[in-house]
Amino acid sequence: MPEKRSKASPMVKIATWNINSVRLRAQQVGRFLIEQEPDVLCLQEIKTVAELFPYDAFNALGYTHHAVHGQKGYHGVATISRIPLREVSRHDWQDNGEARHVGVELLGPGNGMILENVYIPAGGDIPDREANAKFGQKLDFLERMTRWAEKVERPTLIVGDFNIAPLECDVYDHKALLKVVSHTPLEVETLTRFADAHGWVDLGRKHIPAPERNWTWWSYRTYWQEKDRGRRLDHMWASPELAAQSTSHRIVEETRRWEQPSDHVPLITEFAL
């Protein structure tokens, strides 16, 4: 059961989900909002321009505050909330105009929390910058994020699809995936530099310690075969002072079994602020 809210210590529930087309799966997002009741939901890979975002469906459920950074057919991020918010930033860490980030400040319960919603590039199939430009773009994206993180001064939560499983236990077979994009040593090293730049706390592993199973993504090619070949690609990381106020974290894996699901599942963290 979710913890009760109190005036002295308001609980704020933040969720993140790579939805892999919000217009295609708006009904699933609505079901998730009804069943899980997050205060804020950060979506990645919405694959639509802001003008075509399904605002009405979410407004009807009480999620009347939005920050949408979209583009046609690809990428895109959106933060929807029943708590008032204001958009504060859109960083172009891809350095090519792609819609992969939006930052907001919460104005109601959780007043002052900075919430960064990011969709890091997948990086293609070949883990070699020279042979695969997309892999180089992914590494450069992370380096730009790292330079930004060095200057973060306010308590911040950064969430989204990082497209990297950093720990050996974050994939179904560490040795088999060492040369597979999302789990290569170079990607892990680059993500570690980002973590160290601000002292980010990985909430997934704070509340579900390694080596416990903690996967957020399963390939469409294998999940239907009931092969549990998962990876932990989605993350919620917090500034140390904000991480200390997190009370729970969980993965909503049942969404992966819904009809025509996203290949990612949602994460939820609760904070006593």
Whether 130 contacts 138, CB under 8 Å: no
Residue 102, pLDDT score:
98
Task: Check: CB of residue 215 under 8 Å from CB of residue 232.
Answer: yes
Residue 171: the pLDDT is: 97
Query: Which pLDDT does position 1 carry in this prediction?
Result: 45
Answer whether 77's CB lies under 8 Å from 118's CB.
yes
Separation between Cα atoms, residue 162 and residue 230, nearest integer Å: 15
pLDDT of residue 5: 44
d(C-alpha 152, C-alpha 173), whole Å? 35
Q: How far apart are CA 168 and CA 183, in angstroms?
A: 8
- Weakly modelled stretches of the chain, pLDDT under 70: 1-9, 224-225
**Which residue carries 């009809």 as its tokens?**
259
What per-residue confidence (pLDDT) applies to 3?
Answer: 44
pLDDT of 8: 55
CATH superfamily of 13-272: Endonuclease/exonuclease/phosphatase (3.60.10.10)
What is the DSSP code (8-state) at residue 253?
Answer: G
